[in-house]
Chain A
Amino acid sequence: MRPLTASRSGPRLSTPALMAQRGPLSAPAPTAQPVALSEPSRDPAPSIWSYRVQRLWLTPLFRKLLRVGLPTFVIAFCGLAYFGDEGRRAAIWDAGMEIRREIENRPEFRVNVIGVEGASDPVIAEIRAALALDLPMSSFDLDLTDLRARVEALPAVAAAELRIQTGGYLAVRITERVPALIWQTRDDIVLIDAEGHFVAALADRQLEAPLPAVAGEGADGVVDEALALYAAAAPLGEALRGFVRVGERRWDVVLNDGRRILLPADRPVQALDRALALDDVTDILARDVLRIDLRNPDRLTVQLTDPALEELRRLRALERDTQTGERSG
């Protein structure tokens, strides 16, 4: 056996053909890359405290507490400390409001023009006065519900529809009340619509078509009855002056010459038809009649004028004298 300490570096380098071409365990050829001695490695052991800290860190509950609980606590604490001061809270509120105001006042949201449709000119003026808007103003400042209530509070307006359209245009679409009756009250003569609502004073309006006139207290509550009577009284034509509500219970038909047809509280239209039928047959209205009383449906009562009554009495007396004369003679 060759001594272990023998140096053979010289001949080994000169005879590379004798070197092994492969090494065991698939190592590279040993002469090409001599085994290098490694430095004595540093002790990799963790200190007891780093070991404990890492174990603590790997504890699921602790980890969750630190990763979720602690930031939550810090944020909550800082937030409370910051917002605990009244002045800061107010400043933040003011800043927010300022931003909001700036956005609201942008021209995109500004309302410049009001357009009213579906109303006559005097009503339009009334509506503009009622809206009382100081234009231009921001559409955020417009309370459309309140404005609509204000418009609809006007007597001439049945319904209103308000809409902010593009281009800063506030469209107000109005449904006007249509006058259906002329109502004569003690104070004034007014127009009311089919539901009995006040529309305007008669003096303020120019009527396109003649309207039936009514009088009497409570007439505005039964406009439909009045209209039905008006329709039924069409044969009277020009002779009709109007209707008077009596005792808030029944109607009188007043003719042009002051004569009246007293209608019952119950079924007045049929009673009026009867009266008109009677007129057709007996021409009763052409006679000297002051009132035709239809209040009792079983019996028609007629009030005659004074000369007619005199004449009637004279005729009756004459008739009685003739009879007695015959008997005596």
Chain B
Amino acid sequence: MNMLYQAQRGMRAKRQEAMRRGVIAVLDIGTHKLSCLILKFDQTNVSAPAEGIGAMAGQANFRIIGANTTRSRGVRFGEIDSVQETERAIRTVVQAAQKMAQIRVDHVIVALAGGRPRSYGLDGEMTLTAGTVGDLDVAQVLSACDVPDLGHGREVLHAQPVNFSLDHRTGLADPRGHVGNRLSVDMHLLTIEAHAIETLLHCVKRCDLELAGLASAPYVSAVSSLVEDEQELGAACIDMGGGTTSLSIFMKKHMIYADTVRMGGDHVTGDISQGLHIPMAHAEKIKTRFGGVIATGMDDREIIELESETGDWHHDRRTVTRAELIGVMRPRVEEILEEVQARLAAAGFDHLPSQRIVLTGGASQIPGLDGLASRILGNQVRLGRPLRVQGLPQSTCGPAFSACVGLALFAAYPQDEWWDFENSADRLPARSLKRAVRWFRDNW
């Protein structure tokens, strides 16, 4: 745990350095596509990060000066499967984005969807020695949380304090300055498999970049596609990606649950390819052009040619109707949504006061998906698109880029995490000398 604490603090220091330089890249490593945005922060209002709960840094203004997307290679289920292939894809996308931005970036924040995220709700409690809650008390109560057995080879990705309670008052966003006896905290802990992070680190390092932050894709896509009142009142965001469908539940502007279903749009393509005996590339093409989930009588008469080049005349000149295509796609989409429904039920989403569900991600563009989803997930379903961000090209405004845009927002307005609070151990003089040496080594 201490190792992770140090690593996360190191990434935080790098992120702050990148903020000082004013340029940072965000990279969304997805199964289907890999997109990179280069953000430029305005130097005018760079202030020292305010300590405490809430927005950590004051960088309100950023604009996107470079953006690029490439086909993802070597990624399966949101995890890096073939390191060399992914590295080449990262190089492609970063180089093109740099070329657009005409500036070199050294720091990159990465979102990853895979690695089987698991959510834990922790709580910690402590008795206050002084009457008033201070910074050290917050750090201590966060350290006092009982960490369950995370399992072998798992790392903590997010550890966000969600709620503070002081004696009988609860729902405190920032307990500092309050007077009380017992301080308790609810913390949301998200773990993913360690090898996913390690291969990612390796890839990023091979591209001469420095990892300045890691975020979970369900979290960041919810940040960009849930509007503010949905985040406040409670909503679930379902990011239907290529290889995984990730879901996260927000409440009072904090993520309280995240999970992924290891199925996505690529599986739909696979089904089409398998069912219609056509190559994957062609299957992808007819899925995006003619796909749907609700068939009507009109679709029986809409005929799609299946071109292939096997040399067999009969095989090369087959056709299907659009209704048949929908018939292939719909069971898989239903399966995904049912799995999501199962995960939401397991998380206790039914008991939340608000039942809003936002569908986003590339696979949410299937026509008629909102109707099908409202039949399975409940009737408060809408399709979400990411927030408008200054400088974002038109081509990256679609729902497929909600994780990417959310990552940019995450870079600008980071959520306070457990490691953002100064631990009492850091204040020892021997430690500060070591930190001075480390600062010297980092900066010279």
**Residues on A facing B (Cβ under 8 Å):** 1-2, 4-9, 12, 18-20, 23-25, 27, 30-31, 34-38, 43-46, 48, 51-52, 54-55, 58-60
Which stretch (B160-168, B197-205, B211-219, B307-315) binds chain A?
A: B307-315
- Contact count A vs B, C-beta below 8 Å: 106
Residues of B within 8 A of A36 (CB): 307
Interface string of B60-97 (1 = CB under 8 A from A): 00000000001000000000000000001101101100
Asked whether A30 and B290 contact (CB < 8 A) given A4-B324, A37-B307, the answer is yes
A44 touches B307 (CB 8 A): no
Interface string of B305-323 (1 = CB under 8 A from A): 1011100001101111110
A51 touches B91 (CB 8 A): yes
Q: Which of B208, B288, B317 contacts A52 (CB 8 A)?
A: B208
- Say yes or no: is B367 at the interface (Cβ < 8 Å to chain A): yes
A5 touches B305 (CB 8 A): no
Residues of B within 8 A of A60 (CB): 103-104
B289 touches A43 (CB 8 A): no
Residue of B nearest to A25 (CB): B289
Interface string of B240-283 (1 = CB under 8 A from A): 00000000000000000000000000000000000111010110
- Say yes or no: is B390 at the interface (Cβ < 8 Å to chain A): no
Which stretch (B173-181, B295-303, B335-343, B374-382) binds chain A?
A: B295-303
Residues of B within 8 A of A58 (CB): 98-99, 102-104
Number of B interface residues, CB 8 Å?
A: 47
Q: How far is the CA of A46 from the CA of B95 in the complex (A)?
A: 8
- Say yes or no: is B285 at the interface (Cβ < 8 Å to chain A): yes
- Say yes or no: is B207 at the interface (Cβ < 8 Å to chain A): yes
Give the distance to chain A from B351, nearest Cβ to Cβ, in Å.
Answer: 39
Residues of A within 8 A of B319 (CB): 7-9, 12
Residues of B within 8 A of A6 (CB): 318
A37 touches B301 (CB 8 A): no
Give the distance to chain A from B94, nearest Cβ to Cβ, in Å.
Answer: 8
Residue of A nearest to B209 (CB): A55
A25 touches B367 (CB 8 A): yes
- Say yes or no: is B292 at the interface (Cβ < 8 Å to chain A): yes
A30 touches B307 (CB 8 A): no
Asked whether A51 and B207 contact (CB < 8 A) given A37-B282, A37-B307, A46-B91, the answer is yes
B327 touches A34 (CB 8 A): no
Give the distance to chain B from A214, nearest Cβ to Cβ, in Å.
Answer: 92
A20 touches B298 (CB 8 A): yes
B305 touches A4 (CB 8 A): no
**4 more CB-based (< 8 A) A-B contacts, given A8-B303, A35-B282:** A27-B290, A30-B290, A46-B95, A51-B91
Give the distance to chain B from A282, nearest Cβ to Cβ, in Å.
Answer: 110
Give the distance to chain A from B352, nearest Cβ to Cβ, in Å.
Answer: 35
- Say yes or no: is B347 at the interface (Cβ < 8 Å to chain A): no
- 8 pairs of residues in contact across A and B, judged by CB atoms under 8 Å: A1-B327, A2-B324, A8-B303, A9-B317, A34-B305, A44-B92, A45-B91, A51-B95
Residues of B within 8 A of A27 (CB): 289-290
Asked whether A59 and B305 contact (CB < 8 A) given A37-B279, A54-B99, the answer is no
Residues of B within 8 A of A1 (CB): 324, 327
- Say yes or no: is B383 at the interface (Cβ < 8 Å to chain A): no
Interface string of B191-235 (1 = CB under 8 A from A): 000000000000000011000000000000000000000000000
B307 touches A35 (CB 8 A): yes
Residue of A nearest to B103 (CB): A58
A35 touches B103 (CB 8 A): no
Q: Of A12, A44, A48, A60, which is in contact with the most chain B CB atoms at under 10 Å from its CB?
A: A44
Residues of B within 8 A of A34 (CB): 305, 307
Interface string of B117-147 (1 = CB under 8 A from A): 0000000000000000000000000000000
Q: How far is the CA of A305 from the CA of B20 in the complex (A)?
A: 120
Residues of A within 8 A of B55 (CB): none
Q: How far is the CA of A52 from the CA of B289 in the complex (A)?
A: 38
Asked whether A7 and B324 contact (CB < 8 A) given A12-B303, A19-B303, A54-B95, the answer is no
A35 touches B286 (CB 8 A): yes
Q: How far is the CA of A41 from the CA of B407 in the complex (A)?
A: 30
A30 touches B308 (CB 8 A): no
Q: How far is the CA of A59 from the CA of B88 in the complex (A)?
A: 21
Q: How far is the CA of A123 from the CA of B302 in the complex (A)?
A: 120
Q: How far is the CA of A219 from the CA of B78 in the complex (A)?
A: 121
Residues of A within 8 A of B327 (CB): 1
Give the distance to chain B from A49, nearest Cβ to Cβ, in Å.
Answer: 11
Residues of A within 8 A of B53 (CB): none
